[in-house]
Amino acid sequence: MKKINVEKIIAVSGMPGLFKVISNGTKGVIVENLMDKKRTIVLNNSKIFALDTIRIFVNEGELPINEALYKVYETLNGQAAPHHKNASDEEIKSVFEKSIPDYDKERVHINNMRKLFQWYNILHAANLLEVVSDESPDNNTEVKTNEGETVSENQEVAEVSSETSAPKKRGRKKKSEDENK
């Protein structure tokens, strides 16, 4: 399944826009605003929502936000979505229904649709609409090891890199019975 990469992208309650996580600080998270590129600290007591944990209700369960963003991207051919404030409710609903036709009409409200389009437009303006394919675990994908050898993901990498195994940790020296007395 194709989806939009929203890893390390967060929304913060009370702060407009989306943010990219730069680093974890002692008092909070250091983030960068996607629109103006300004960095700030979001304190630990703030409500932080990682975009990859947000879901949209559909008739058969829930749809991850990254897949919903891809469906909007595909419907709009990579163009910007209707503006979340200026567009009419009918325009927002029609584009949303074209993108996600099986959404739960009782649980997904117009403000949820507007928020999705707002986030989509922010990611579009920041050139962060990166499409990735979701690999299933039974596929054999190849991985390069530190030695430059190519192995399949299902193969044990430890077999290939057994020569460079980490040194064993040394335990504390045990006292003999004579030293304890």
Residue 159 has a pLDDT of 37
Ordered structural domains, the chain, with CATH: 2-129 (1.10.10.1650)
**pLDDT per residue as tens digits for the range 37-59:** 999 999 989 999 999 999 999 99
Residue 178 has a pLDDT of 56
Q: pTM for this one?
A: 0.71
CA angle 29, 38, 78 (to 5 degrees): 100
Name the more confident of 71 and 178: 71
Exposure string (b/e) for 115-134, b if CB count within 10 Å is 16 or more?
ebbbbbbbbbebeebeeeee
pLDDT band at 131 (very low <50, low <70, confident <90, very high): confident
Name the residue among 49, 75, 66, 76 with its Cα closest to residue 131. 66
Mean pLDDT of the chain: 79
**pLDDT per residue as tens digits for the range 144-162:** 433 444 444 443 333 333 3
